[in-house]
Amino acid sequence: MAGIRSHFIFRRDATLKVRTRARAGLMSVFFLLGFGLVAARLVDLGIAGTNDGLSSSWKQISSAVYRPDIVDRQGRMLATDILTGSLFANPSRINDADTTVEQLATVLGGIKPRTLRKRLQGSGKFTWVARELTPRQQAQIHELGLPGVDFVQEPHRVYPAGPTASHVLGFVNVDNRGLAGVETHIDRMAGVSASRSKRGQEPAPVRLSMDLSVQHAVHAELASAMKRYQAKAAAGIVLDVHSGEVVAMASLPDYDPNHRKQAMDKNRFNRITSGVYEMGSVFKVFTTAGALDTGVTSLDKGYDATHPLKVASFTINDFHAKRRWLSVPEIFIYSSNIGSAKMALDMGRKRHKEFLGRLGLLSRMETEMGPTAMPIVPRNWSRLNTMTIAFGHGLSVTPFQVASAAATLVNGGYKVAPTFLARSRDEARIQSKRVIKLQTSDLMRYLLRLNAQQGSGRRANVAGYRVGGKTGTAEKVVNGRYSRRALMTSFLGVFPMDAPEYLVLVVLDEPQRVAETKGKATAGLNAAPTVGRIVERIGPMLGVTPVLDRGRKRFDEHVRASY
């Protein structure tokens, strides 16, 4: 009010100098500006508000990120994040570190008292005590009522399907960062490890090419094969030969990704992508395909397999020796080493090596999980190398590469990059290029089917699914020598052979001569029937229509009884 009155005085006193008025005017402008600013700030605060302390503080503490879910090709959940409690301590607020550690040790089994005590006695305001506690442990610690320790809720990765898909999924570390399998791919994908995503803001689920039902069938059959044949390890992969999708991949012994410590066990590594093996006779498919594709041989040609092949101090002999001339299909179904070696020699070292390289057998193969193990390729590729590699010795590759290369042989000749992510066949076709002739692919289909009907792959030939394939029995190197007892058996199966869709490769490590296999341990007696059993189970899941031979009872009587 004082200001208003003085204003009137101003008006009455006309003798005041103009200068004073100007000064007063200037003053009032300043005041107006000043109050205007205050008012504006008030309005601003009123509307925008300050950041209330409502956003909980654990996000700053926790370094764990929410990861996108992983689902199988049908959308079934394979990995997700749930919240679990973790315990941290504020050392500056802990008075008695000894008692605190003592009390905590009663609840937490796995802690090291000495290191924890040191951490709690140190300076600083934050240290982890234990992470990923069970709800029960959390409750018990809460009961202890210790000062200076508190919980935070952190996202924690869980794998609901357990060990079934472990080698495909991989696992994560305590901070929810991918350490193996597809989880590493998710970390490399933009926006996962870069930002600390919150619940509801995590990227869209990652859809795999894997089918959980097929994966389970493969996993279960491998487990039973490992037991039945008393093998050290069993591994298998199912590949869509057109899209390159890995529909299933298992390697036993495996681990439960929910218990990441198990995964560190050296024996539980992924034999499909990380192990390199001399694949034995399975390699004859590549030799034969190479010889056919380069035109050095044809199905009506033959090779003399009467005598063992002597090179330097080596003698190449046949396991199922026929001691006569063999036609190319006979070489294939009797799995003749002599014939295959001669076929490779006909191709010549250079072309043989080039052909294997074209199929991707001589270099690492990139996948979403990172590169496969490096193949062991002879440094100087000699004539002898070509001869032994023709029947699968002297070159060690991952089963993953064998599956991928074999897919090319049966899918019409296209090199399709295998993938663990869902992809359509059309999409794959655009990205892939032809590396062998269509005709070669057709001939290979014929040979593989023939081998399953008359040759070493008979036990893989389950009714209805037109399986074709090739066995491989390789002797493992024990103490620097090939051992007759330690075998590595494998079977490369494809079905249905009239129009191939899926490839199944099974590898057994040191199967024993059990009664069921008539005291033998060759691939035709263990790996081949395992593939057969797998095909029989996954065929219907993958929608492959079985065709039963004419004249046979077409329909199971029992089914009719179960209307």
Residues lying near other proteins in the complex (CB under 8 A): 4, 42-43, 46-47, 49, 52, 54-56, 76-78, 80-83, 158, 160-162, 164, 198-200, 212-213, 215-217, 220, 462-465, 536-537, 539-540, 545-546, 548, 553-556, 559-561, 563
The candidate with the shortest Cα–Cα distance to 167, out of 330, 434, 399, 438, is 399
The least distance separating other proteins from the CB of residue 444, rounded to whole angstroms, comes to 24
The active-site residue out of 281, 335, 336, 441 is 281
Query: Amino acid identity, residue 459?
Result: R
Nearer Cβ to other proteins, position 53 or 110? 53
* Contacts of 109-113 spanning 24+ positions with Cβ under 8 A: none
Nearer Cβ to other proteins, position 52 or 426? 52
Q: How far apart are CA 172 and CA 187, in angstroms?
A: 10
92 DSSP 8-state letter? G
Instruction: Give CA torsion, residues 114, 119, 122, 123, to 10 deg.
Output: -170
Nearer Cβ to other proteins, position 220 or 450? 220
The least distance separating other proteins from the CB of residue 530, rounded to whole angstroms, comes to 14
The least distance separating other proteins from the CB of residue 100, rounded to whole angstroms, comes to 29
Nearer Cβ to other proteins, position 329 or 539? 539
Nearer Cβ to other proteins, position 426 or 556? 556
Answer whether 237's CB lies under 8 Å from 246's CB.
yes
Tokens of 285: 């498919």
The candidate with the shortest Cα–Cα distance to 399, out of 531, 249, 225, 177, is 249
Tokens of 538: 């996954």
| Number of DSSP helices (H) and strands (E) in the chain, helices first | 20, 20
Nearer Cβ to other proteins, position 48 or 190? 48
Q: How far apart are CA 521 and CA 490, in angstroms?
A: 11
Q: How far apart are CA 496 and CA 486, in angstroms?
A: 32
Full DSSP string of 339-364: HHHHHHHHH-HHHHHHHHHHTT-SS-
Q: How far apart are CA 459 and CA 468, in angstroms?
A: 10
Q: How far apart are CA 299 and CA 322, in angstroms?
A: 18
Q: Which residues touch 10 (CB under 8 Å, ≥6 apart)?
A: 16, 21, 24
89, HSE (Cβ side, Cα atoms, 13 Å): 26
The least distance separating other proteins from the CB of residue 84, rounded to whole angstroms, comes to 10
The least distance separating other proteins from the CB of residue 559, rounded to whole angstroms, comes to 5
Nearer Cβ to other proteins, position 19 or 552? 552
Nearer Cβ to other proteins, position 157 or 284? 157
Full DSSP string of 189-207: STTSSSS-PPTTTSPPPEE
The least distance separating other proteins from the CB of residue 453, rounded to whole angstroms, comes to 16
The least distance separating other proteins from the CB of residue 189, rounded to whole angstroms, comes to 20
Count of CB atoms situated within 10 Å of the CB of 447 = 25
Give, in order, the Cα–Cα distances in Å from 57 to each of 52, 126, 242.
12, 13, 50
Strand locations in 298-388 (E): 302-304, 309-311, 314-316, 325-327, 366-367, 370-371
The least distance separating other proteins from the CB of residue 42, rounded to whole angstroms, comes to 8
The least distance separating other proteins from the CB of residue 147, rounded to whole angstroms, comes to 27
Q: Which element (helix H / strand E) includes 489?
A: strand 481-495
Q: Would you call 281 a catalytic residue per the annotation?
A: yes
301, HSE (Cβ side, Cα atoms, 13 Å): 13
Helices (H), 145-192: 166-169, 181-188
Nearer Cβ to other proteins, position 61 or 77? 77
The least distance separating other proteins from the CB of residue 198, rounded to whole angstroms, comes to 8
Answer whether 391's CB lies under 8 Å from 283's CB.
yes
Q: How far apart are CA 557 and CA 45, in angstroms?
A: 81
Nearer Cβ to other proteins, position 254 or 293? 254
Catalytic annotation, residues: 281
